[in-house]
Structure 1
Amino acid sequence: MDEKRFSQSDSNLQMANNARIEHTSSEGHEGDATCVAYFDGQLFSGGADGKIRIWSPELQLLATVNAHEAYIYCMAINQHGKVYSSSCDGQVHFMMPPYGDDSVQELFRCDDAIQAMYCDGSVLYTGDDKGVVTTWTNDRMLFKYSLVEEVKSLAGEQNLIYTVRDLDVVVSQVAEGKSGKYSNKAVIPGKSPLQLLGPLVDGKRSYLAFTDRSGMGLQLVNNLSQQRYSKIWELPDCHEWIVNALCGNETYLYSGGYDKKVKGWTDLGAGKPKALGEVEVDSCVNSICCGANNTVYIASSDGYIRSAKFV
């Protein structure tokens, strides 16, 4: 498919006004709400206070877990509902339902910052500031891959590892066998964050989304092997400030950042995305995730959690 590039002023990309904030949490984290993840009818938020809060879909607080003694960087949830979280003191913890202080266990600790994690089924991927990606299954380490540069965003699928290193998105193919070796399959100009999304085809997501090198525009490329990561479209300067949060599903892509806005997009594979609208958040958007019934959950720098609807 030919690459499509659109300016923010393109009349077909003007934002609709259907998007709205539906709920705001009655209380927040102490400091930033740093990450959110949704699983099986519950929302999990991590914060600078080291706590993981568990919410109903309508953002009623169900539980507060003292997961860490330090700032939480990120979370990931596997197919069994095991919640992994990393903190700035180099520790990665996990918990299983029923979630609570007594269920928190340590997976490992290190001298490096684990700033990115991702779950694909039962496999956990962790990436650190030294450029090492580690894969885990059943809470046992499988392999370590030294990708040289700091891992700022991370995903994994089948035998592929997707990372962002400064100004490039890198797709690495893992060698078969117990070698820990890999080869670069693609290097694409772009920045963190990245997001796998779109319909599943032979166990792989159809699209890979990430920001352009300015950090304020979005790009979408084909993720299926026969398409060789060809660019579908590019939206330069679709945000006024740096984008630092993406989420998506089979149909929609959402983006949020320092401009205190979350925006939605659809018709992703049609060559020209359709803008769904935008919501204003009162503070910087740190993390977003997709929930049920086309709900988007937002973690922001004021410590509060919000839910938004775009369709």
Structure 2
Amino acid sequence: MKVSVNASNEDKHDLDVNHLIYVKHKLYSGSDDGKIKVWTPDLKLLTEVQAHPCSVYCLTASEDTLYSSSNDGTVKTWTLDDLKEKKTLLNQPNFEFWRVAWSDGYLYVGDDQGNIRVYNNEVYYGIMNIAEPVKDMAVDGHILFTANLDIIITDVKLKGKNLQCINRINIYGKAPLTLAGNTLCFTNREGRDIIVHEKADEKNWKELTQMKGAHELIINSLAGAACNGKVDLFSGGWDKNVKRWSIEGNKIEYKGSCDLGFTVNTLILGENDTVYAAGENGYICRIDGK
């Protein structure tokens, strides 16, 4: 693993980067400077917008729309191609919207008070409360995974007139979390161990393996993908390292690391065995796995 390219000092964000997504051969970044920036795969800046007056916490995307959430109490929508503002979908100044996730026509919005609002094709559908702030979130079909000081798995009923949900299980752990292949990956409460569970309702999401002391300091982000029956998992955090792991069956194996020189807040997989990392002081880089 090695850093192959960095965003230039002239183009990078002015403050910490909180979130990355990779969509249709482009990288999108959201930062504490309130800006969203769009990059080529080799980190050439394509466009940017002052999306919010304060922090952009999270980004997600449908086929043609980018969604951004902020501590200014809004969720906004943008054209995916050129970042033209479409509308403010949600404006609630008493809330901080920490996470957004889009799946199969539904947008999920998680806030600092444990609420998750659900929109169907941008029309408000309903709200649920999971009793703790939504620090991280992922969706797989009708199953919603949320994390702060527990991993909460919720079955969301999307067919009726009104939103219904059933809590399936709470797992002792902590954000961040990621879904990769048939696995659910997250950290322990201390934030330095990686825990891997099976992503299967019928098997009650049983634990597969753990990696004790995966990082010396707290892990801030996990990202993974499945290929040929194996899961490649990447982790990064306060120790300024990005590490690569291979998960197969009930085993997790260390595959290498890269010292970036900055605190890592967010990771996302790109194409051709690449991963993007971003965080402290606006730094963004691409790491090549081969």
Shorter-chain TM-score bucket reads: over 0.9
Aligned residues: CA RMSD: 1.5
Is this contact kept in 1: 2:52–2:72, CA < 8 A? Answer: no
2:67 pairs with 1:89:
no
Match of 2:15 among 18, 22, 31: 31
Identity %: 30
**Cα distance in 2 between the residues matched to 1:212 and 1:236:** 9
**Cα distance in 1 between the residues matched to 2:129 and 2:50:** 32
Question: CA offsets, 1:261-284, max 9 Å, x none?
Answer: 111112x13222222211111211
Q: Which amino acid aligns with 1:36?
A: L
Match of 2:134 among 145, 151, 154: 151
Matches within 5 A, 1:98-247: 98-100=81-83, 102-110=84-92, 111-166=94-149, 168-175=150-157, 177-198=160-181, 206-247=182-223
Is this contact kept in 2: 1:67–1:104, CA < 8 A? Answer: no
The structure richer in strand per residue is 2
* Higher normalized contact order (CA 8 Å, seq sep 6+, divided by chain length): 1
Where does structure 2 lack aligned partners over 5 or more consecutive residues? none
Question: Post-superposition shift, 1:104?
Answer: 4.5
The list of structure 1 runs, each at least 4 consecutive aligned residues, that deviate by more than 2 angstroms after superposition, is 102-105, 174-183
Indicate the SS of the match to 2:8: coil
Greater CA drift, 155-164 or 47-56: 155-164
Question: Post-superposition shift, 1:239?
Answer: 0.4
Indicate the SS of the match to 2:216: coil
Indicate the SS of the match to 1:273: strand
Q: Which amino acid aligns with 2:98?
A: Q
Question: CA offsets, 1:171-215, max 9 Å, x none?
Answer: 1122463343322211111000111111xxxxxxx1111001111
Question: Post-superposition shift, 1:97?
Answer: 3.6
Question: CA offsets, 1:136-169, max 9 Å, x none?
Answer: 2221111211112111111122222111142x11
Match of 1:255 in 2: 235
**Cα distance in 2 between the residues matched to 1:230 and 1:98:** 40
2:258 pairs with 1:275:
no
Where does structure 1 lack aligned partners over 5 or more consecutive residues? 1-18, 199-205
